[in-house]
Amino acid sequence: MDSIFRHIETLLRRHDYVIVPEMGGFVYQYRPAVITSESIQPPLTTVSFNPLMKTSDGLLAIEISRSENISFREATASINQQVESLKSSLKRKTKVEIGNLGSLSIDDNRKIIFTPAVGKHLAPANYGLSTLHYAASTDKPENKVISFTLPSAKKVARYAAVAAVAVGLFFAAPKIGDSTKSLANLLPTEFFTQKTEVEQSVKPLIIGIPNSETKKMEAAAAENSDLKHHVIVSCMATQQGAEGLVSSLNKMNFTKAHILPPIKTYRVAIESFATKEEAIRYMQHLRANTPQFSDAWVLSE
């Protein structure tokens, strides 16, 4: 049973998911960084299992056919045989190890439960990342003592006498006319008139103009809406990279190349077909005659 899961590990690193027909799908999931009072855990990519992903997309059979140099039909038969053997083992045992991925078991409701391995299967995104531990701060705020000395009774009496003299001089001083009022009468009243200007803020109206490249993707998706089986030649992380690849394929006379609506990655289809058989025949012809597309595979919606 290790051979099929060895291929699954290889495909997970390339495509982030692998479907095992009639059993389920293995998918990479992203977990963000976790910060606690004592450590910082880096972002982590883990493997999960979805029992609802049972419809074959041909990706696993193509990988086994290519790596083991057998036909697509033989690879499909081998997958079916190993899946049946795995189900039989699960009925007899409480747990079945599946390579470096982890283990499978069956609960009381006859559902398959996946337990990922700890520290074995590492995604490329996890390389070089480790948990950072740090000691919690134990510093306590410093209590500063402020001291001051009260003046003696003689100094207090001296300060009081000086203050009394200053108050007496203030009230004894002659009053002087209000110079501010006199000066104001010499000036015209218009001088003090304040002119208030109300500024009207004009907010610009921003009209979104659809990106031309986005229009191209939408047009290509509409054109291929009836073609549900796609020959995929690459999965790109960014839309810009996928658009560059489509442009290169068009220059190589693959004029029907287009980008599928993104899920996690931007998948570039070199051509799409109405039936799965047509897509597989085209994929086999492409792999046999164009070495640079030896990893092409079929995706069925």
pLDDT for the residue numbered 205: 45
Whole-Å CA distances, 213 to 161, 218, 260, 270, 271: 88, 9, 13, 18, 19
pLDDT number for residue 263: 81
Domain boundaries, given as residue ranges, for the chain: 2-133, 214-300
> Within the chain, which residues score under 50 in pLDDT?
1-2, 176-202, 204-210
Looking at every residue in the chain, the average pLDDT score rounds to 76
b or e along 81-110 (b: 16 or more beta carbons within 10 Å of the residue's beta carbon)? ebbeebeeebeeeeebebbbbbebebeeee
The Cα–Cα gap between 123 and 12 comes to: 8
Sign of CA dihedral 256, 260, 261, 267: negative
pLDDT value of position 291: 79
- State residue 24's pLDDT score: 92
Count of C-beta atoms within a 10 Å radius of residue 117? 15
Query: CB under 8 Å to 72, separation ≥6 — which residues?
Result: 58, 61, 62, 65, 280, 284
pLDDT digits (tens, 9 = 90+) for 206-233: 444 445 555 555 555 556 667 889 999 8
> What pLDDT shows up at residue 32?
81
Per-residue pLDDT, 84: 92
At the top level of CATH, the class of 214-300 is alpha beta
